[in-house]
A and B are shown apart, each in its own frame.
Chain A
């Protein structure tokens, strides 16, 4: 029997096309359940029914843990499930439910909901965000129990070949099961471009569509589905002709990918002959090869936070030096921009003593602010960077600079460090370029002043957008406001680029915006010199640049500033650039 075809529209989160069979992970809360008063005679039966549900739930979770172990998934994920297992034996939950059944004479579902409500309420008053978020675990466990009581099964963790995961939302726990050999792609009801799901999909190079609103209730397990992560469509129970059409599209997408990979290492030169430098962002030294293979002409952002995380001491000079030397040597003759620590002190184990719990760590004591307070720790990192600069083309970059005083102080500490090295006769690059991240709106606004003191700028759009628009990206109520094309953001970017060029220094961009090809025309039009993106976007951005005419992009950028809203700007880019070239359209 032919089932009904549905076409669902969402947000394309990760490019590619997946055609497979739906595994529906039902992660939505059960809102309707029976509330029944029972007689005392039934208390024993009802309690037994509850215990059976507990045993069933335990069995399912144990199975999931085994599944994870078979796939060598990160231990942390298995631990989360083990915690769930413990919660199922927790007297606060099971004891309370038993008590409610016997004392209030109510059925197990009702008792469970009351007990869960009480626990959730206790969690609400917790100040510590990290612990507070653990309420998700109790909710997860409660839902599983409720499902087992009602007899509505929670989908197991069994994945068949060619699975496409459909869910209301995917938690980090759910993503533990994303086995690339079996899962072809995924689609969720909620989420946007910057949600956890999208980022994971992108890094797994797995097609994904998010923000579909009701996919998880429309799709049934086993339905054939097409996930089109290019245009943001999900087709449920497609017709044979749709399947063959999409198989064709999947092939041409893959051949485009292949073609781009082949051209990845050649430079990006626009139609009118301007060379655009595309660099890669880097986190771990192990990624260097991948980034270079994807065509990076240097590292525009080497994040150093990993050195401070997951260890029980502050990294020593050798830790820094080893990590940086390995990268700059591998990347040379290309340049590597090493960014100094961009973390809050609360994020890493420290001998800094008690750092006060901050209400709003994003705007608190972090990055350069922390480094200027803990100068000795800062100097250890600077020594590591300077020493590495002897072994390859290196630049140094300070994050989160908000004003001139900070910049001058940071440079002063750098000079002191250089002096120390000179006195000790340790070699380093005397001409090492020094730059800053422009990511605080105040820095963008005084970019003309800051430009006189540095060798380069790098615009960090993720934070710049967040700070300029006063939105917390992690806050689901306001993250829809996160908009790279907001006229205010574009003005800050434009002002920064012009200020840099007036002082004769280059300016690059290393935020997510740099890696999305739809923005390439306006960024080049505004005059950006270098784009630095994650490995997988490099070949795409290069190919986009090859299809563009710089002069036309300039005109486009000039006209942009007359437009009042992000949506109109987006439409304008589409009308002027995308719609006029099928070549460009194919890249989006």
Chain B
């Protein structure tokens, strides 16, 4: 019985280089810590949020907006944490 509702949030990429190697690495590493399945959508392309390679292929540059979707028992937490990571610009100084 699937009673999770699936959470999602739209965020804008803030950091200068966009979802480049370091940012994609941080994102996928964080995403992998959740039980929920996580997808990232940009311009209709949907990729696995736990895959650094797939994240790189959506080429989310600074200013582009992405949607983070999570589905599973920790979906609310996952969406919050991952959105925050993007909003903080992946801690880039």
> Residues of A with Cβ closer than 8 Å to B?
79-80, 82-83, 86-87, 89-93, 119, 122-123, 126-128, 130-132, 134, 137-138, 312, 349, 354, 357
Contacts and interface: CB of A to CB of B under 8 A. Distances in A.
Given A130-B17, A132-B59, 20 more contacts: A82-B25, A83-B25, A83-B52, A90-B28, A90-B50, A90-B54, A92-B48, A92-B51, A92-B52, A119-B53, A123-B56, A126-B57, A128-B59, A131-B19, A131-B20, A134-B21, A134-B56, A137-B21, A312-B93, A357-B61
A90 B52 contact: yes
Contacts of B92: 312
Interface in B1-60: 16-22, 25, 28-29, 32, 48, 50-54, 56-57, 59
Most buried by B among A130, A131, A132, A349: A131
Contacts of A131: 18-20, 56, 59, 61
Contacts of B17: 130
B20 A130 contact: yes
Contacts of A123: 56-57
A81 B19 CA distance: 18
A83 to B, nearest CB: 5
A137 to B, nearest CB: 7
Contacts of B61: 128, 131, 357
- Per CB-CB distance, the 8 closest pairs between chain A and chain B, nearest first, are A92-B51, A122-B57, A126-B59, A92-B53, A92-B54, A128-B59, A131-B59, A312-B93
Given A130-B20, A134-B20, A91 B51 contact: yes
Contact of A86 (B16, B52, B57, B59): B52
A21 B32 CA distance: 44
Place the interface of chain B in its size category: 20 to 34
16 contacts: A86-B25, A86-B28, A90-B50, A90-B51, A91-B48, A92-B52, A119-B53, A123-B57, A128-B18, A130-B20, A131-B19, A131-B59, A134-B56, A138-B53, A312-B92, A357-B61
A138 B54 CA distance: 11
A138 B50 CA distance: 16
A87 B59 contact: no
Nearest to A137: B21
A123 B57 CA distance: 5
B16 to A, nearest CB: 5
Contacts of A127: 59
B52 A87 contact: yes
Contacts of A91: 48, 50-51
Contact of A93 (B22, B53, B59): B53
Contacts of B29: 86
A133 to B, nearest CB: 10
A62 to B, nearest CB: 16
B41 to A, nearest CB: 15
A87 B93 contact: no
A137 B52 CA distance: 11
Contacts of A128: 18, 59, 61
B77 to A, nearest CB: 21
B54 A83 contact: no
A131 B54 CA distance: 12
Contacts of A126: 57, 59
B72 to A, nearest CB: 15
A398 to B, nearest CB: 26
Contacts of B50: 90-91
Nearest to A121: B57
Nearest to B51: A92
A126 B53 CA distance: 13
Interface string B59-71: 1011100000000
Nearest to A79: B22
A127 B64 CA distance: 13
A78 to B, nearest CB: 12
Contacts of A312: 92-93
B25 to A, nearest CB: 5
Most buried by A among B22, B48, B59, B61: B59
A494 B16 CA distance: 42
A356 to B, nearest CB: 10
A91 B16 CA distance: 27
A314 to B, nearest CB: 13
Contacts of B22: 79, 83
Contacts of A122: 54, 57
A79 B24 CA distance: 12
B68 to A, nearest CB: 17
B57 to A, nearest CB: 4
A585 B52 CA distance: 54
Contacts of A90: 28, 50-54
A437 B28 CA distance: 46
Most buried by A among B56, B62, B92: B56
B44 to A, nearest CB: 13
A119 B47 CA distance: 12
Nearest to A94: B51
A357 B16 CA distance: 12
Contacts of A138: 53
Nearest to A141: B53
Contacts of B59: 126-128, 131-132
Contacts of B51: 90-93
A93 B17 CA distance: 24
Nearest to B56: A134
A83 B21 contact: yes
B24 to A, nearest CB: 8
A471 B21 CA distance: 29
Nearest to A80: B21
B8 to A, nearest CB: 20
A90 B47 CA distance: 12
Contacts of B53: 87, 90, 92-93, 119, 138
B28 to A, nearest CB: 7
B57 A119 contact: yes
